[in-house]
Amino acid sequence: MITRRQILQLVPTLGISSAVFARALAQETAGKLEVTREMIAAAEWVSGIELTEEQEEALVKDINSLHSQLAALRKVELDPQTDGPALIMQPLLSNSKIAEAASTNNKPAEYVLPKDVQLPADEADLAFMPVHKLAALIQSKRLTSTDLTKVYLQRLKKYDPQLMCVVNLTETLAMEQAKKADEEIAAGRYLGPLHGIPWGAKDLIAVDGYPTTWGIPVFKDRIIPQTATVAQRLSAAGAVLVAKLSLGAIAMGDKWFRGMTRNPWNLEQGSSGSSAGSCSASSAGLVGFALGSETLGSILSPSTRCASHGLRPTFGRVSRSGCMPLSWSMDKIGPIGRSVEDLALVFAAIQGSDGLDPTVVDRPFQWPMAVDFSKITVGVVKKDKPDPAVDVLREIGCQIKEIELPGGYPLSALFKIIDIEGAAVFDDLLRAGKTEGWNTWTQSFQSAQFVTAIDYLRMQRVRRKLMNEFEKLMNEVDLLFNTGDLVHTNFTGHPSLVMPYVAPDAQAGKKPSSVVFTGQLFGEATILALAKEFETRQAQPLPRPSLPS
């Protein structure tokens, strides 16, 4: 129930007369709020309609009945992770280009690890190696998972005071998993390229036995007796969890209850968010790879800031069971790492339905995937200056087509979908006043309480209209490149991949810029294949951040 203090805070924004407010406050204090005709008149701005006095009087009984019904609803205990709304987002439309092709199951090609990988003498060189090269060393028994895990745990302890990217180390679990991996490999039971590889989980991913804080003080010590599907799948693949990594409070930005997570390339700068710790730790060579999540930019933005590789999968491709919900209709879980190949290997392990997240569907994923790039059409937006990155695509053999993104949509108004769904997730804490360290969510969630159900559904209808128009565009191309479609595609559910780009004129050792590929729905294999080919044609080797010793 809304508190007396919250009523006092909200009244000036509502424009309610003092007499109306005084009666409402007295009733609320007594615990039996009764709606009057004057109160209905004062609140008509919420719905955007005007009523006559007779109509207002007629509504009094109905709204008082509704108030009682809503009070009864609030007494029903709901788990935001398992009790989502009965409305389910489905990105695949009837006119989707991928629909027919995706129905054919393809047998994945056998993955072969590189053979010419040398074990570096320097631990820092080892720590910055991509997963597929670390895997080659572990498979050939030139490196043990235990030794690699100790390297990453030591680096996490050493550099976290500067980066503030670790919420909790999972050292006991890590050493147990590493020992098990070494024993299995020694016995000839090699599970694949993630076997024995240390990783970090964004701290909205539940792991039984360790706190899952969601970045807020009230949950600093809270342990969820559940392990998220993605963490279970990585464990089954033999990966070693070394840390729960920071996220901005309730998946907003890079500020959480211990402070601000830093960009390894510039310690005066935050790492962006909300997958702040996952990108910071991966970029700084503190983990082999990490998992992040995105609702509206939370993988792509910090990956760009920290020069990491990040994949935001198609909505409904990876289970979110055991992960914090912010927006049931927009949340996605995806990998963050140091090469395109690594993103593919991790994605292969975590994708697919689990029977727990009702939005997830099974679609084929073939990796490695052979692609005839001469048959790939890439959509780009016309720019005043030539983009050298587009020239790389031409060298690869892709066809380039200038496009325009759908326009005329009030995209900022659609942002309220996140606030409304998030307000429902955190309603109990909001009403209890447990909002310390929420960044600006408190005001956003309070504001969402005044959006009508009719307008929420209107937002979703406009979103569906945008999805239809965007799909018409995607029927003209195979991929998009650097089109600035982050907002569009988070609403439409299309997958995107961000990766560092070392331009021909880039200064050696400086943080590289980034490029973004956007693919067809469930077309992760194609964007990964093109991005990998793009990566092999970089003008210079990928630099790494230089952290103070």
Instruction: Pick the closest to residue 25 from 13, 11, 15, 42 (CA basis).
Output: 11
Report residue 122's pLDDT band, with 50, 70 and 90 as the boundaries: very high
Beta bridge partners of 199: 241, 289
Q: At 497, which helix (H) or strand (E)?
A: strand 496-501
Selected catalytic residue, list 272, 274, 293, 301 = 274
Distance CA 138, CA 238 (A): 12
Burial degree of 79 (CB within 10 A; 0-12, 13-18, 19+): exposed
Report residue 242's pLDDT band, with 50, 70 and 90 as the boundaries: very high
Tell me which amino acid residue 212 is.
Answer: T
- The CA distances from residue 187 to 134, 196, 320, 348, in Å, are 19, 14, 34, 25
pLDDT digits (tens, 9 = 90+) for 418-432: 999 999 999 999 999
| Range(s) of the chain covered by CATH 3.90.1300.10 | 98-109+124-353+366-406+462-536
pLDDT digits (tens, 9 = 90+) for 214-235: 999 999 999 999 999 999 999 9
Q: Give this prediction's pTM.
A: 0.90
Other Cβ atoms within 10 Å of 498 Cβ, number: 27
Instruction: Pick the closest to residue 297 from 514, 31, 52 (CA basis).
Output: 514
Instruction: Pick the closest to residue 259 from 405, 155, 151, 160 (CA basis).
Output: 160
The torsion defined by the Cα of 388, 390, 393 and 397, in degrees rounded to 10, comes to: -100
pLDDT of 31 reads 53
Report residue 28's pLDDT band, with 50, 70 and 90 as the boundaries: very low
Give percent of the chain with pLDDT exceeding 90. 75
The residue whose two tokens read 């995105």 is: 294
The DSSP result for 401-433, as a single string, is EE-----S--HHHHTHHHHHHHHHHTHHHHHTT
Report residue 1's pLDDT band, with 50, 70 and 90 as the boundaries: very low
Residues 6+ apart with CB under 8 A from 140: none
Distance CA 300, CA 251 (A): 14
274 catalytic residue (yes or no): yes
Looking at domain 98-109+124-353+366-406+462-536, its CATH architecture is: Alpha-Beta Complex (3.90)
Lowest mean pLDDT among 38-52, 481-495, 523-537: 38-52
pLDDT of 548 reads 86
Selected catalytic residue, list 145, 272, 298, 329 = 298
Mean pLDDT in residue range 173-183:
98
Selected catalytic residue, list 97, 202, 244, 332 = 202
Give percent of the chain with pLDDT exceeding 70. 91
Position 16 pLDDT exceeds 50: no
133 catalytic residue (yes or no): no
Mean pLDDT in residue range 459-485:
95
Contacts of range 471-475, beta carbons closer than 8 Å, 24 or more positions apart: 471/93, 471/95, 471/96, 471/97, 472/95, 473/379, 473/403, 473/405, 473/406, 474/96, 474/97, 474/520, 474/521, 475/95, 475/97
The torsion defined by the Cα of 66, 67, 73 and 79, in degrees rounded to 10, comes to: 120
The answer to whether 338 and 280 are in contact (CB under 8 A) is: no
The answer to whether 327 and 448 are in contact (CB under 8 A) is: no
The answer to whether 6 and 16 are in contact (CB under 8 A) is: no
